[in-house]
Amino acid sequence: MTDATLADTAYAKINLALHVRRRMPDGYHALETLFAFCADGDDLTAAPADDLSLTIAGPFGEGLSAGADNLVLRAAEALRGAAGTTAGAAIRLAKRLPVASGIGGGSADAAAALRLLARLWRVNLPDETLHAIAAALGADVPACLASRACRGEGRGDALDFLDEGALGNMPVLLVNPRVAVPTGPVFARWDGIDRGPLATGEALAAALAGRNDLELPARAMQPVIGDVVAALMACPGATLARMSGSGATCFALFADTAERDAANGAIAAAHPDWWRLATTLRP
């Protein structure tokens, strides 16, 4: 990296709860969800360049397109257009999180690219403009842009941020059985039954009282997801174990890091082929 190179993190997103209320006329679903973000994720760097370019590396980078259809480059083009600049950037994405896994993926990468390039190009756009750019890229991108604990409604892009530190530094273990679960087919399998609203009030209590309405359809596609949730629930000290998003990544929250690390070791020994990330939630 040169002195002019900047870096940002595409923080892993988890849905502490995800209630699907109805299908809307535009094909999207009306959701109520509690977003939380981990301290770790994919890594992005950007350096000044004449043109826009993207290279992808990392353990989950193989096979991903680095062409104009990639959300990172789409975010870059959208920001460049809104800012009225012709500046370029050489962007490098280190893909450390599994793809099609319910923890942000391309949405988090696009959000990180917006933050990173706004700094690189010294773009000073209103928050409302950045939110609109993010929302046009995908329903989860606005939440990923902020990467703060919040409640999401509508498509998931109408955000109400939680008090600073409401969930911060809580130990969490992410586990993925290394199966991809595309979002569209999971939503298509949702049974259309509204099982009620997400509770308001204190975030963890609301999450514990909530559910993930996409877990059953995802498990119908990949039954191993049930095995992951069961393994996490069996770990001593796990206060909440659930699938995130449309899967297949699952998570467990813990009261302290020692219990989380013990769970990480136990799952590694029992299922060495499963991907794991022991981390904490961002403030």
Indicate which residues carry an active-site annotation: 13, 140
Asked whether the bond before 49 is cis by omega within 30 degrees of 0, the reply is no
Radius of gyration of the chain (CA): 18
How many Å apart are CA 123 and CA 134, to the nearest integer?
15
For 181, other C-beta atoms within 10 Å of its C-beta total 24
Query: How far from chain centre, in Å, is Cα 34?
Result: 12
Q: Check: CB of residue 254 under 8 Å from CB of residue 239.
A: yes
Q: The tokens 């979002």 sit on which residue?
A: 183
Backbone φ, ψ for residue 169 (5° rounding): 70, 15
Alpha helices (runs of H) in the chain, residue ranges in sequence order: 71-83, 105-120, 127-137, 141-146, 183-189, 203-209, 215-221, 224-233, 257-270
CA distances from 75 to 78, 104, 125, 182, 237 (A): 5, 15, 14, 21, 40
Pair of tokens at residue 190? 């949702």
